[in-house]
A and B are shown apart, each in its own frame.
Chain A
Amino acid sequence: MIVRAEPLTFEVVYRQERPGLVRLSHLLTGSNAVAEEVVQEAFLELHRRWGGIANPKAYVTRAVVNRSRSVLRRRAVERRYAPADARVTLPPEIDETWTALARLPAKRRVALVLRYYEDRPIVEIAELMQVRPGTVKSLIHRGLASLKEQLKEHLS
């Protein structure tokens, strides 16, 4: 028999998940400030639907990934007009990789971040991105190839 012990309140989910989700959204959107907004909206949505959501952690994670992807899609249009986000100083090699990642199409970037930062299995990434696992594999393969090409150009 399973005995349930630890209450999982909204506040507990918020405290446990928020820092990681802000980091994840930062990696996905490239903006710390946007990440804060994305995560607030996702938690507000979670709270509003709390009574009807069975798995709140999965729900809010998916909401953050989806909203971050929306930001990326929007930014692709607005990029030339958008002010640069305040950036921390990064070591050169890290900065090159981060900049190369930022140039990738939104879907490839999301797939790479979920794979190489979160270490999520392909099937989970597919679920979060709402695409087939084969598509995720393709996005990761193409994303890595693009990164390699960009970094090679930079080195040459």
Chain B
Amino acid sequence: MMTDHDIEARLREALRVVAEATALDETTLPLVWEPARRRWRPVVVVAVAFVASLVAVGAVALIPAGNTEPAPPASPGIDPDLRFPVLPSIPGVTEAWGDYSVPGENAHRQELAVGTEVEGGFVDAIQVTVWPEYNLAFALEGDTVRIGDSEGVAVMSPPGEPPWVTLSWTVGDLWFLAHDPRGRLDLVVEVAEALLVDPAAGFSDAVVVGGLPVDLALLYPPTFIEPRPQPYVDAVADNAGAPAVQIAVSDAPSALALATRFESGEEVVVRGKPGYLMMRDGSLTIAWEELPGTVVSMTGPPGGRLAELLAVAEAVEFVDEATWQSIYDSDGPRPIPTTFVPPPTRAPNTTRAGP
């Protein structure tokens, strides 16, 4: 007689054996491109993990809300003016954790987006990111595509899946990645051919947009992204799998810049400020500029409603790093300090901008 325990044991063993038999293509592991010459320093987007440092320091000040101890100063490298988000009490949400990454000095890049402008927003955005040089840790495999006089690699969605395409190419040392969530390879190639490089300019000014394909507008011009810490908080409901809400401070220079990382965006008002509403995988995301230079995004659960998301956004507080660290534990979920943030004292603003 086979028991449930027997089945579980057999399954564990089978999975272990098959996993160990998995062939790993080691040749793709060390393929970090090494250019013959470096015009700019290699760009590597750097984040810094909390966990190891928690152990190393061993003195994390997780001060309960309302504690009167003086707050510790900001961590090294953190702009003391940077504001950190604190979520309010959310019905059904029992746990939350926060963390943030600290980018390295050479995490610079440029971003731009093209697409179709519509009343109250944009649709069909194609996003382009440019780095000073190729920094992917593996060689891309895909179809070879002609881009003007050079070649690129197109990685496309598998047959039967919703179409998307990512096109990779280099001009000199510059490395370009263009992504179209709609999978229009021919159009992406035309966009790629419209991007010109001024070799005499420094990296932050090197990319110029030439003649775009008909019906495509420049939604967001080439913009140098200054890396910055991006704190986030995940709140998890005890009766739902996916995070109920995630809020994050972005390194995007504007709400529109953040919105164009999605396929389409619709103008909304968030906390009385102009922002954008986007959707991905059935979840709504709103983005707004809380303060000059502080662009925030908030994503709800799959199937969530805009009014609920805006209501949560209304009650978000922004605090300094030390206070934030006293609330959220980067090492895992912890109960939300429901007494820290008072309930909203004003009605949520659920008004959409535009007509």
A interface residues, Cβ below 8 angstroms from B: 1-11, 14-15, 18-19, 22-24, 26-27, 32, 35-37, 40-41, 43-45, 47-52, 54-56, 70-71, 74, 77-78, 88, 90-91, 93-94, 97-98, 101, 112-113, 116-117, 123, 125-133, 135-136, 144, 147-148, 151-152, 155
Contact = CB atoms under 8 A, between A and B. Distances in A.
A148 B77 CA distance: 56
A70 B25 CA distance: 22
A101 B29 CA distance: 30
B15 interface: yes
Interface stretch (B53-61, B266-274, B342-350): B53-61
Given A91-B17, A117-B15, A123 B137 contact: no
Contacts of B29: 15, 18
A47 to B, nearest CB: 6
Interface string B327-343: 00010000000000000
Given A8-B49, A26-B22, A51-B251, A44 B166 contact: yes
Contact of A144 (B4, B140, B227, B252): B4
6 A-B pairs with least C-beta separation? A126-B241, A54-B232, A4-B48, A97-B14, A117-B15, A11-B137
Contacts, number: 220
Contacts of B7: 144, 147-148, 151
Interface residues of B, number: 92
B127 to A, nearest CB: 8
Contacts of A144: 4, 7-8, 11
A1 B72 contact: yes
A97 B137 contact: no
